[in-house]
């Protein structure tokens, strides 16, 4: 008798606890189906969860909690219309604010995710007012407030609509289900992006490239069999000249963490075998979404390693003089928040930085923001780039072409079947957003003056006033081509140095380049032989003076380096003047100018026996 009493007590206790769960039904079968469905829902097995919840509702068509969870199943699949009708039906069976507030939040967020900002506002406010009374879920209260902030931002944007012109790239480019993270070379000759064959994370990702030919983009092709594999190759970045790429790879290559960054170099038309960037950049955690400065000397990327402000932060590393990367540093609180920052991009002007975040007020989810460096090199407060680039959906990346006007980005949307589709778009920015600093693309060819054979030569772009290196590169050893970027329209020197050849330099003033988008400089280098000459175009004196100006230092330092690289060479330094004044006076002035250069070189440890100075006056202008 005691045994049966104990069994009855256990059943009674279980039913009593079940009644205290707060569910709106007493139907045991409905509750069992509801409970089983949630095991599938949390594992994202949505079809099974949907079927069980519909069966639960058949057992009790006023089962409020089953409607809520069924709506969550539809919402998780981005089937927002079905989710809303389910939430609204479920909420119609109760007047209890404790039950209604869950529906208010989900209805408000569903409208928000659809971009129906005005319809989202009232239920979010209702939720917030009721939830604040109990302070039961601080995280959801904060989420509701962020959505309300976004609605306010949307209303402000609507009052001042931008005039961007946006259009998708041609079907030639957008021929895959998913294509994203576009980047361009500085001269706009190549478009590189990532494509995925399907919606699953396990589907193959490859890096593709299109060439700009006959005023249109060519068919996409695999960038290289050395880079793409049967495994995934993801987001990438490329230097201005299109000859150094850094990309993400997560499996199949030797690495330091779950996803690492790798580098490959292009020589002629071939890419080298990728090389892991090593433990100063990569960590045991996740690294992805690299962004190189135009000259390849600063690398920004995203990582979820420890030591940041949020889960995913933007970090950076700089190229050291020995060619290695420095230990990565966090980009700082001016950019990173306690939420996620992704998709960094540094414009070729070196001063404008773009990134995506869900941690700043915007239009919802991830929005694109931009920031500029101040006079001290610090990042200013980020600004939302606004509509139509940003909208209610997540925006993951933006690439701004060197002209500061044209942008490329991926827009993700959901098709009728609930599949994600990502297309590449081009936008011409309106005047209020166009970047103020427009760089100059400097490119050309380096070859032997006699044989016309292409040469691998160092090319340095130097700011004359600051005596600072702006950009540095090598010409391609097979093609002889090079591309550099001049971020500001300032006076500069372009210097080519190749082992076994005479130094050669070019000088351009601000007036020479004021209205140009690009400038071509070809170098024909002369082999070091007795009697050969090279003109130093960046040695300056004031009128009627033999005192070297500060702007001469950059070129003279290159002469010093060239002489040290060629220790057997002896040179004659020839001074020249214009034809104003007497012949005798000009001859003496030119002699003093040549002597000034000689003194500078000897003070930099060039032996005097290697140097002869000679004045020519105005006889050789």
The string of pLDDT tens digits covering residues 522-538 is: 999 999 999 898 888 88
pLDDT of residue 434: 64
259 contacts: CB under 8 Å, gap ≥ 6: 234, 248, 249, 250, 286, 287, 288
More confident residue, 488 or 224: 224
Three-class DSSP category at 480:
coil
Tokens for 553, please give them. Answer: 């230092």
Confidence band (pLDDT; 50, 70, 90) for 135?
A: low
Please report the DSSP string for 189-205 in residue order.
-EEEEEEESSSSTTS-E
* Distances, alpha carbon 578 to alpha carbons 61, 398, 552, 614, in Å: 99, 52, 18, 16
Three-class DSSP category at 440:
strand
More confident residue, 232 or 184: 184
Alpha-carbon distance of 409 to 344, in angstroms, equals: 13
Let me know: does 340 contact 357? Beta carbons within 8 Å. Answer: yes
Mean of pLDDT values over 546-569: 90
Please state the separation of Cα 297 from the chain's center in Å: 15
Per-residue model confidence as pLDDT tens digits over 243-288:
999 999 987 788 888 899 999 999 999 999 999 999 999 999 999 9
pLDDT of residue 482: 93
Alpha-carbon distance of 229 to 206, in angstroms, equals: 8
Mean pLDDT of the chain: 88
Closest CA to 61 of 87, 93, 34: 93
Confidence band (pLDDT; 50, 70, 90) for 11?
A: very low
pLDDT of residue 136: 74
Tokens for 300, please give them. Answer: 């920004």
Alpha-carbon distance of 17 to 39, in angstroms, equals: 20
Mean of pLDDT values over 14-20: 35
Mean of pLDDT values over 478-483: 94
What is the Cβ-side half-sphere exposure of residue 596, based on CA atoms within 13 angstroms?
19
Per-residue model confidence as pLDDT tens digits over 158-213:
887 666 678 899 999 999 989 999 999 988 999 999 998 877 766 789 999 999 99
Indicate the pTM of the whole model: 0.82
What is the Cβ-side half-sphere exposure of residue 613, based on CA atoms within 13 angstroms?
21
pLDDT of residue 412: 79
Would you say residue 5 has pLDDT above 80?
Answer: no
Closest CA to 184 of 211, 166, 165, 205: 211
Mean of pLDDT values over 83-100: 94
Provide the sign of the torsion angle of the four alpha carbons 494, 456, 186, 516, taken in this order.
positive
pLDDT of residue 14: 32
Phi first, then psi: give them for residue 523, nearest 5 degrees.
-110, 125
Let me know: does 292 contact 277? Beta carbons within 8 Å. Answer: no
Let me know: does 440 contact 470? Beta carbons within 8 Å. Answer: no
Mean of pLDDT values over 36-44: 91
Q: Which residue has the tokens 């044989």?
A: 451
Alpha-carbon distance of 408 to 193, in angstroms, equals: 10
pLDDT of residue 313: 97
β-bridge partners, 194: 180, 207
* Pair type for strands 611-615 and 571-575: parallel
Alpha-carbon distance of 336 to 413, in angstroms, equals: 27
What is the Cβ-side half-sphere exposure of residue 481, based on CA atoms within 13 angstroms?
12
Would you say residue 17 has pLDDT above 50?
Answer: no
Alpha-carbon distance of 561 to 475, in angstroms, equals: 19
310 φψ region: left (φ > 0), alpha (ψ -120 to 50), beta (else): beta
Alpha-carbon distance of 59 to 25, in angstroms, equals: 10
Per-residue model confidence as pLDDT tens digits over 376-431:
889 999 999 888 788 888 888 889 998 888 899 888 777 666 677 889 999 887 66
Per-residue model confidence as pLDDT tens digits over 335-348:
999 999 999 999 98
Query: CA triplet 453, 455, 456: central angle to 5 degrees?
Result: 160
Q: Which residue has the tokens 């000859």?
A: 243
Integer Rg of the chain from CA: 33
Alpha-carbon distance of 376 to 301, in angstroms, equals: 23
Alpha-carbon distance of 409 to 424, in angstroms, equals: 6
Tokens for 83, please give them. Answer: 């989710």
Alpha-carbon distance of 402 to 487, in angstroms, equals: 10
């Amino acid at each position: 008798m005691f045994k049966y009493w104990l069994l009855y007590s256990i059943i009674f206790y279980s039913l009593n606890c079940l009644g205290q769960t707060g569910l709106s039904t007493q139907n045991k079968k409905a509750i069992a189906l509801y409970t089983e469905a949630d095991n599938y829902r949390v594992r994202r097995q949505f079809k099974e969860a949907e079927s069980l919840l519909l069966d639960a509702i058949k057992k009790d068509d006023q089962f409020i909690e089953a409607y809520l969870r069924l709506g969550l199943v539809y919402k998780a699949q981005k089937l927002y219309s079905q989710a809303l009708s389910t939430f609204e039906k479920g909420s119609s069976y109760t007047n209890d604010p404790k039950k209604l507030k869950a529906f208010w939040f989900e209805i408000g967020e569903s409208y928000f995710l659809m971009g129906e900002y005005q319809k989202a506002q009232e239920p979010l406010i209702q939720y917030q007012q009721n939830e604040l009374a109990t302070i039961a879920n601080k995280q959801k209260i904060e989420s509701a407030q962020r959505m309300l902030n976004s609605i306010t931002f949307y209303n402000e944007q609507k009052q001042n609509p931008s005039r961007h012109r946006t259009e998708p790239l041609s079907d030639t480019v957008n021929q895959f289900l998913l294509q994203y993270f576009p980047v361009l070379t500085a001269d706009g000759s190549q478009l590189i992006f990532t494509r995925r064959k399907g919606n699953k994370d396990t589907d193959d990702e490859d890096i593709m490239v299109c060439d700009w030919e006959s005023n249109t983009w060519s068919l996409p092709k695999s960038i290289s069999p050395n880079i793409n594999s049967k495994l995934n190759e993801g987001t990438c970045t490329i230097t201005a000249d299109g000859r150094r790429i850094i990309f993400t790879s997560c499996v199949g290559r030797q690495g330091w963490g779950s996803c690492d960054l790798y580098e490959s170099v292009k020589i002629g038309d071939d890419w080298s075998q990728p090389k892991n960037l090593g433990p100063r950049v990569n960590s045991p955690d996740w690294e992805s979404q690299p962004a190189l400065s135009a000259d390849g000397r600063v690398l920004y990327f995203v990582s979820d390693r420890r030591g940041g402000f949020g889960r995913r932060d933007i970090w950076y590393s700089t190229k050291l003089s020995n060619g290695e990367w420095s230990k990565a540093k966090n980009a700082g609180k001016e950019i990173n928040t306690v939420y996620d920052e992704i998709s960094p991009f540094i414009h070729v002007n070196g001063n404008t930085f773009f990134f995506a975040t869900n941690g700043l007020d915007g239009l919802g989810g991830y929005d694109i923001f931009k920031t500029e460096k101040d006079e001290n090199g610090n990042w200013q407060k980020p600004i939302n780039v606004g509509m139509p680039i940003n909208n209610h959906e997540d925006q993951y990346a933006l690439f701004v072409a060197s002209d500061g006007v044209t942008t490329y980005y991926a827009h993700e949307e959901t098709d009728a079947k609930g599949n994600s589709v990502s297309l590449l778009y081009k936008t011409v920015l309106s005047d209020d957003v166009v970047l103020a600093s427009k760089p100059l693309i400097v490119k050309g060819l380096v070859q032997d003056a006699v044989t016309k054979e292409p040469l691998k030569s160092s090319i340095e772009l130097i700011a004359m006033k600051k005596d600072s290196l702006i950009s540095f590169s090598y010409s391609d050893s097979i093609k002889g081509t090079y591309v550099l970027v001049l971020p500001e329209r300032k006076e500069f020197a372009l210097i080519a140095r190749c082992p076994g050849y005479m130094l050669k330099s070019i000088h351009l003033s601000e007036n020479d380049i004021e209205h140009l988008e690009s400038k071509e400089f070809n170098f024909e280098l002369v082999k070091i032989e007795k009697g050969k000459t090279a003109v130093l175009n960046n040695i300056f004196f004031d009128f009627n003076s033999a005192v070297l100006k500060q702007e001469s230092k950059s070129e003279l330092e290159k002469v010093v380096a060239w002489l040290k690289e060629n220790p057997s060479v002896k040179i004659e330094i020839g001074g020249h003047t214009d034809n104003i004044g007497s012949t005798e006076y000009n001859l003496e002035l030119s002699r003093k100018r040549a002597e000034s250069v000689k003194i500078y070189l000897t003070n930099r440890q060039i032996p005097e026996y290697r140097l002869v100075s000679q004045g020519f006056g105005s006889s050789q202008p």
